[in-house]
Amino acid sequence: MGTYVVLVMSNPREGMEDEFNDWYENTHLDEVLATAGFKAAQRFVLEAERGASSAHNYMAWYETEGESAEEVIERLEARRDERQQSKSINRRDAAMWVFSPTGEKHVLP
């Protein structure tokens, strides 16, 4: 069993930012944790850029364990109908990536 970090990049639909933020923070993150077996979740908003511009203003970070990156995605998608969906998320430009560690976590002593 490996450790994985899932990053979901997204934007709200135009004029729906408040609904998007409310749904994501107060409904979606907890539903993903409850239905997909993920261990932790947190959202971030883009505050500054250097170099190439980001196509997304919001990022959701999830931590989980699984047999493979594909298994993590399959587990997440298999129980999608158990989670409330929102029309406030722009699904056309949303993206998801699953990463596994390539080295040890570095922390200050």
pLDDT of amino acid 109: 93
Task: Identify the CA nearest to 98 among candidates 15, 33, 8.
Answer: 8
The domain segmentation of the chain, as residue ranges, is 2-99
Going by pLDDT thresholds of 50, 70 and 90, the confidence category of residue 27 is very high
How large is the average pLDDT for residues 9-33? 96
Token code pair at residue 84: 């409330």
Q: What is the DSSP string of 67-95?
A: S-HHHHHHHHHHTGGGS---TTB-TTT-E
What percent of the chain clears pLDDT 90, i.e. is strictly above it?
A: 84
The per-residue pLDDT for range 58-101, each reduced to its tens digit, is 999 999 999 999 999 999 988 888 888 889 999 899 999 999 99
Q: What is the mean pLDDT of residues 7-11?
A: 97
Burial of 57: CB neighbours in 10 Å, binned 0-12, 13-18, 19+: middle
Q: Partners of 10 in the beta sheet? A: 58
CATH code: domain 2-99 is: 3.30.70.100
Instruction: Give the pLDDT of residue 86.
Output: 87
